[in-house]
Homo-oligomer: A and B are copies of this chain.
Amino acid sequence: MKDEQIQLSHGSGGRLTHDLIREVFHRHLSNPYLDLLSDAAVLPESRGRLACTTDSYVIQPSFFSGGDIGKLAVCGTVNDLSMVGAQPLYLTAGFILEEGLPLSDLERVVSSMAETAKAAGVQVVAGDTKVVERGSADKIFINTAGIGWIPGNVDLSPRHIAPGDRILISGSVGDHGMAILSQREGLEFNTPLASDCAPLNGLVQSFVHHQGLRMMRDPTRGGLATSLVELADASGLGFEIEEEKVPIHEGVRGACELLGLDPFYVANEGKLIAIVSREEADSILATIQRHPLGETASLIGRVVETHPKKVVLRTFLGATRIMDMLTAEQLPRIC
């Protein structure tokens, strides 16, 4: 299979599609739901409210320091489910492949998806493959949709956010975006940059039942700043953020300075923002810090009644400025 390439016939629905499904997808992703090969997977009745989400992944390059498009396609969707307090259970996967893609690349991506799904405790229960002519797509695009169940006692909503609440970040920001950008541009730094791409459901399970948890969001495209603006807007309240409290890897800070980018607007793929009550902030922060994906978690700000729906940043120098959403395209195809 080493020299084989994806052909248009692999997407025809006929014999070659079946061969590809059997030899690549099922070999790595096999489970009782997927293996039935019916038009739709039949799953058990839900225990609790359903959560569902979708994301398409078009990241370029497909393989990068810290992950690949397959790992990302599992993590991104697992994380979106986790943010509403759901236990992620099932994924669907839709592949759009460019004619001529080396089969070995596809196999590497699918194998990485399988490994990440296993680590996150989710199953890929339905899939689809389309092939388009050379030049009609860029190598490989993946869509995943995810389904999870929300335990009865979990109720996260921007309506619960109140003045005095604290704002936590689970670790350093900007790692994913800067790893991709530096690789794409062929930049080398003393400190190698790696994507933070990781499934957050384990971390979330460690504190999701805390009464003081109001709301979560994972700051992906648009970075920390855009997610904070979205949360402030949804809550109707103001946020105050202390710049010096936001963890940033030295390498990321240096690369951002060199390239004139603001790390607060650079994408993350393994971080979460949590809004928590003032009373439980220390306890939840400590719980997050005990998890391997939250060791450098930090309390970065608080919710205020003044300047509703605005996020104000207090800088290193003591000045304040209003943070806006990302307005320009900072980094295309970052996820």
A12-B329 contact, Cβ under 8 Å, with A54-B128, A96-B96, A141-B96: yes
A325-B94 contact, Cβ under 8 Å, with A12-B221, A53-B126: no
Interface residues of A in 143-178 (CB under 8 A from B): 143, 145-148, 150
A49 touching B56, Cβ below 8 Å: no
B217 touching A14, Cβ below 8 Å: no
Q: Indicate with 1 or 0, residue by residue over A320-333, a CB within 8 angstroms of chain B CB atoms.
A: 00001111111111
Q: Is A83 an interface residue (CB 8 A)?
A: yes
A83-B40 contact, Cβ under 8 Å, with A94-B54, A126-B52, A147-B52: yes
A218 touching B52, Cβ below 8 Å: no
Copies in the complex: 2
Inside 8 A of A333's CB, which chain B residues have their CB? 130, 132-133
Q: Is A295 an interface residue (CB 8 A)?
A: no
B90 touching A52, Cβ below 8 Å: yes
A327-B14 contact, Cβ under 8 Å, with A52-B90, A54-B128, A141-B141: yes
* Chain B residue at minimum C-beta to C-beta distance from A90: B52
Interface size class of A (residues with CB under 8 A): 35 or more
Q: Indicate with 1 or 0, residue by residue over A26-66, a CB within 8 angstroms of chain B CB atoms.
A: 00000000000111111111111111111111101000000
CA distance A147 to B45 in the complex (A): 12
Inside 8 A of A13's CB, which chain B residues have their CB? 220-222, 226, 267, 326
A51-B58 contact, Cβ under 8 Å, with A12-B332, A222-B13, A222-B14: no
A41 touching B53, Cβ below 8 Å: yes
Q: Which of A39, A148, A329, A331 has the most CB of B within 10 A?
A: A39
Binding site for B on A (CB under 8 A): 7-9, 11-18, 37-58, 60, 79-81, 83-84, 86, 90, 92-96, 125-128, 130-133, 135-138, 141, 143, 145-148, 150, 216-218, 220-222, 226, 230, 234, 265, 267, 324-333, 335
9 A-B pairs in the complex with CB atoms less than 8 angstroms apart? A9-B329, A11-B332, A12-B221, A14-B226, A38-B84, A56-B95, A58-B137, A137-B141, A143-B145
